[in-house]
Amino acid sequence: MAKLGFLDEGLSDRQETINYEHHQEVINRIISSYHAAKEEQKKVSLQYQLGGAWKETIETRRSEYIKALNSSDFESLSNLLKNVFRNNGIAGLWTYGYYNDIRNRSNAKRKTYINNILLDYHTAIDFIDHFDISKLAIKPIGNPWGYLIKGTLVLPTAFRHYYYASHVHNLLEDVNTPIVCEIGGGFGGFAYYLLSANKDVKYIDFDLPEVLLIAQYFLMKSFPEKKFLLFGEDECLNISKEIINSYDVILMPNFSLPNVENKSADLVINTGSLSEMDYHTVEEYINQIARITNKYFFHDNSDKPVLNNEGHVEVTSSKFPISNIFKRIYKTNSLWGGGSGRYREHLYQRKECSV
């Protein structure tokens, strides 16, 4: 049953406690990496340029972030990121409603929001082995908000991200140090639960520079003990197995994907963004996925050519040009709300891999 009091508590302020020295290092690394990425982006092919549904989102809703980054304004960027879950930094990465929308809605609409969260909660109980709601708790990075369930603050994306992480963990449980590559990691929700559950996993993310900086902030602040590699640092132009093994987390702009060594990722995952790209970009990404994947390719994407809110007709996931080096293990309806029933979950296995 929807309880408005648990939502009110979930909307309350949760500012992080700042370790200024580490915070300063993180912000400065983000700014430096962003400038290096934007300079390199000028040279890359059309497939890796800004397009699809994200072009409108970035150009209209990331303007404050882009202004702060372009001017290397440490204080402005810091203030934006310290409240990223409550401003436009999270645009396109959320579900069921943004902070200001939920805070200002009528009680009837707020109850609809809560019921969507509770539907995902019961789905998680059904489909995740030994499910424990306390495992969905996150650190207070970026002033998170959501709904309280049994005392745990639950973000509206938490159930799906935790499910993906649990699913990947189960697929790779026999691999001693699994290497997981995500294309379009958003703010880092899946990565957070993956890294929290498995200390030995190596995680690589490729995303648009204007989105990647959110994951860089959230993950570097959440895991200060881990070793991160950003674009423009060290040997990142060549992402070999040796480089991957030297870091815990590698966070790169999308156009760095061709620099990954062949068959170096045990699993590649994409959720909710391949369909949002132009077809020529989908085709290029699928070719790269076939090249770098050693075992599994998992994705959850739209299966209907709908016109989304950004004016982009989504690429149907059943028409992705999947390489014949993969065999499909299954295709099923996505378990999670927020997509009007148009999403499908797919798992592929490389034919010659032994697991």
Domain ranges of the chain: 158-350
Strand partners, 181: 204, 268
Residue 236, pLDDT score: 61
**How large is the average pLDDT for residues 108-118?**
95
What are all long-range contacts of 120-125, with beta carbons under 8 Å and residues at least 24 apart? 120/159, 120/160, 120/336, 120/337, 121/149, 121/154, 121/159, 123/159, 123/335, 123/336, 124/159, 124/162, 124/163
Indicate the pLDDT class of residue 99, thresholds 50, 70 and 90: very high
Q: Which of 167-176, 236-245, 305-314 has the lowest mean pLDDT?
A: 305-314
The answer to whether residue 271 scores a pLDDT higher than 70 is yes
| Cβ neighbour number for residue 262 with a 10 Å cutoff | 10
Question: CA-based angle 300:166:174, to the nearest 5?
Answer: 110
What one-character DSSP code corresponds to residue 30?
H
Strand duo 326-333 + 152-154: pairing = unpaired
In the block, tokens 């949002």 appear at 276
Q: How confident is the model at residue 235 (pLDDT cuts 50, 70, 90)?
A: low
Residue 280 has pLDDT above 60, yes or no: yes
Lowest mean pLDDT segment, chosen from 197-201, 230-234, 260-264, 307-311 = 307-311
Lowest mean pLDDT among 29-33, 82-86, 339-343: 339-343
At 157, the pLDDT band (50, 70, 90 cuts) reads very high
Q: What per-residue confidence (pLDDT) applies to 353?
A: 60
CA distance 281 to 297: 17
Q: Give per-residue pLDDT as tens, 291-318.
A: 999 999 999 999 988 777 667 788 899 8
Please report the pLDDT score of residue 314 as a whole number.
Answer: 86
Rounded Cα–Cα distance for residues 216 and 241 (Å): 21
Query: Is residue 217 scored above 80 in pLDDT?
Result: yes
Burial of 145 (0-12, 13-18, 19+ CB in 10 A): buried
- Rounded to an integer, the average pLDDT of 132-147 is 97
Q: What is the pTM of this model?
A: 0.95
Q: Percentage of the chain surpassing pLDDT 70?
A: 97
Residue 339: predicted pLDDT:
64
The 10s digit of each residue's pLDDT in 43-75 is 999 988 888 778 888 988 999 999 999 999 999
Per the prediction, the chain carries an average pLDDT of: 93
Residue, of 81 and 235, whose pLDDT is higher: 81
Q: Is 253 helix (H, G, I), strand (E, B) or coil?
A: strand
Class of domain 158-350: alpha beta
Q: In angstroms, rounded to a whole number, what is the distance separating the alpha carbons of residues 199 and 270? A: 22
pLDDT value at position 354? 47
Across the range 74-80, mean pLDDT stands at 98
Of the listed ranges 49-58, 128-137, 186-195, 308-317, the least confidently predicted one is: 308-317
